[in-house]
Amino acid sequence: MEKLVITGGKRLEGTIEISGAKNAALPLMCTPLLTEDPVILTNLPRLADITTLTDLLNHLGVTVTIAGGDGSGSGGRSLTFDASTIADTVAPYDIVRKMRASILVLGPLVARMGEATVSMPGGCAIGNRPIDLHLKALEALGAIIEMEDGYVRATAPDGLKGGAVRFPFVSVGATENILMTATLAKGTTVIENAAREPEITDLANCLISMGARITGAGSETITVEGVEKLHGTTHAVMPDRVEAGSYAVAALMTRGDLLLKNARLADMQAPLDVLAEAGAVISEEAGINGEPGGVRVKSNGHLKGFNIVTQPFPAFPTDMQAQFMALASVADGASVITEAIFENRFMHVPELCRLGADITVTGSSATIRGVPSLKGAQVMATDLRASMSLALAGLVADGDTVINRLYHLDRGYERLEDKLRAVGAQIERVND
């Protein structure tokens, strides 16, 4: 079993290259299903979730090949997705169960083929993660939804028609699913209470470059004029704001100074505002001689407690909640963190407490009383962002912290130990 061993106490200083965003790449990888032309995606991160979705696309008949260098010099991978023929419209349980974002093939398959059968994704560690909003939105465009043996079957024998979709609350995945689907529906679709995350805008930009007619992406109302066909494109995946935010926390926790290359300030305003309040000096650095710039995070020597409530973009993102809890564990004073998006996203709490953190949970709020230091121990990763929270705590804990179940971490953080070691961390991946 692979483990991460981190010896705490090292100050981090230097440059970390931020990879392409997992949560942008996954929906982007479904856009090729909407066209017979090849789609090239560049700056793809090398992550387990990308491999899982590639396996699903292969199963559906999409050929995925390494694209030639796109010359952009970005560290990510370039892949060509060719969905000229769809061999199967069934997404099987054994693939979907590994990654619930597989549900994002549902809408594009119905739009392209008039039918799709996708295994219910099931819940995951952080919540039961229903897909009712995805299904209701597809029905608003004329799809017929049936559930059978744990599978969702969506059909549109007479094709899809544009319609009015109003989400009762914000859903990133449901917004992405219906946005892709609406591009090929006949007529106009208006999506109200749409998610405003940067990943939605990135997806819309890719679809527009494929010939889709979309206005309002990034706002709460998105309008789509359906078209007959979409054509191929080449699109670069946006940088990962959650990876960048996680390393920004590492800079502050270790009283360090990190340049997060490729990171975009506008994607991270809410978490960076909290970091500044806690003791970070944040600046946007322009690139020099053609190199991309980034966001610089430097400690001002202090680390004060703060309060957070997770909400949809542009408010504080739930995907940064666990990482900020590690920060709060060693801040001066108390912090209160409220998780308002998922019903069970505090599984990092007992593991942080094993490292000596002082955290009490009441309902959806955690009160964290900062302690002078944490002590390294064996800990268990439970979900993707919780595992990053433990790695961050390990960076400042006295002695060694050993993190088990690394597969959680590898779903969302590319080459974590290489990137941290390059800026001074004492960290290694061991097999035992």
Which sequence positions are flagged as catalytic?
A: 124
CB closer to ligand EPZ, 151 vs 255: 151
Length of the chain equals 432
- Choice from 118, 165, 174, 253 touching ligand EPZ (CB under 6 A): 174
| Binding string, residues 288-317; x marks residues near ligand EPZ by CB under 6 A | ------------------------------
Q: Which CB sits closer to ligand EPZ, 134 or 261?
A: 134
- Using the rule CB under 6 A, is 173 a contact of ligand EPZ? yes
Of 314, 280, 285, nearest to 299 (Cα)? Answer: 280
Q: Are 117 and 153 in contact (CB under 8 A)?
A: yes
Task: Tell which positions 181-240 bind ligand EPZ, by CB under 6 A.
Answer: none
Q: Whole-number minimum distance, CB 318 to ligand EPZ, in Å?
A: 5
According to CB under 6 A, which one of 9, 75, 127, 211 is a site residue for ligand EPZ? 127
Of 173 and 271, CB closest to ligand EPZ? 173
Distance, CA of 359 to CA of 354 (rounded, Å): 11
Is the CB of 318 or the CB of 382 nearer to ligand EPZ?
Answer: 318
Residue 348 touching ligand EPZ (CB under 6 A) = no
Considering the complex, what minimum distance in angstroms separates the CB of residue 56 from ligand EPZ?
Answer: 13
Least spacing, CB of residue 179 vs ligand EPZ, in Å = 12
Note whether 406 binds ligand EPZ by CB under 6 A: no
26 contacts ligand EPZ (rule: CB under 6 A): yes
Is 159 a binding residue for ligand EPZ by CB under 6 A? The answer is no
Q: Which residues contact 25 (CB under 8 A, 6 or more apart)?
A: 41, 44, 45, 47, 50, 237
User: Which single residue brings its beta carbon nearest to ligand EPZ?
Assistant: 173
- Locus of tokens 């387990």: 48
| Tokens matching residue 307 | 């309060």
Using CB under 6 A as the binding rule, whether residue 324 contacts ligand EPZ is answered as no
R_g (Cα) of the chain, nearest Å:
22
Q: Is 132 in the site for ligand EPZ (CB under 6 A)?
A: yes
Total number of residues binding ligand EPZ (CB under 6 A)? Answer: 21
Applying CB under 6 A, which of residues 8, 20, 412, 419 lies at the interface with ligand EPZ?
412
Nearest-angstrom CA–CA distance, 243 and 284: 17
Which residue number, 68 or 168, has a Cβ lying nearer to ligand EPZ? 168
**Whole-number Å distance between alpha carbons of 8 and 300:** 20
SS3 state of residue 388? helix
Among 10, 134, 264, 408, binds ligand EPZ (CB under 6 A): 134
What order do you get walking across the sheet with 2-7 strand by strand?
A: 378-380, 400-404, 2-7, 426-431
Segment near ligand EPZ (CB under 6 A); pick from 33-41, 131-139, 154-162, 397-405: 131-139
Distance CA 160, CA 316 (A): 35
Q: Which stretch binds ligand EPZ (CB under 6 A): 4-12, 40-48, 124-132, 247-255?
A: 124-132
Diameter of the chain measured on Cα atoms: 65
What tokens does 13 get? Answer: 């200083």
- SS3 of residue 64 by DSSP: strand
Is residue 243 a contact point for ligand EPZ (CB under 6 A)?
Answer: no
Q: Kind of pairing, strands 280-285 and 294-299?
A: antiparallel
- Indicate which single residue of 11, 129, 304, 369 sits in contact with ligand EPZ (rule: CB under 6 A): 129
Interacting span for ligand EPZ (CB under 6 A) from 126-134, 228-236, 288-296, 347-355 = 126-134
Considering only residues 44 to 103 of the shown chain, the ones binding ligand EPZ according to CB under 6 A are 101
Smallest separation (angstroms) from ligand EPZ to the CB of 16: 18
In this structure, the strands spanning 151-155 and 115-119 are antiparallel
Dist. CA 19–CA 15, nearest whole Å: 13
Closest CA to 351 of 322, 373, 318, 320: 322
Order of strands, edge to edge, in the sheet holding 221-225? 164-166, 188-192, 221-225, 213-215
Question: Cβ neighbours of residue 79 under 8 Å, at least 6 residues apart?
Answer: 40, 41, 44, 54, 64, 65, 66, 67
384 binds ligand EPZ (CB under 6 A): yes
Minimum CB distance to ligand EPZ smaller for 296 or for 385 = 385
* Ordered alpha helix ranges (H), 106-153: 106-113, 132-140
For ligand EPZ, the binding residues (CB under 6 A) are 23, 26, 101, 127, 129-134, 171-174, 318-319, 341-342, 384-385, 412
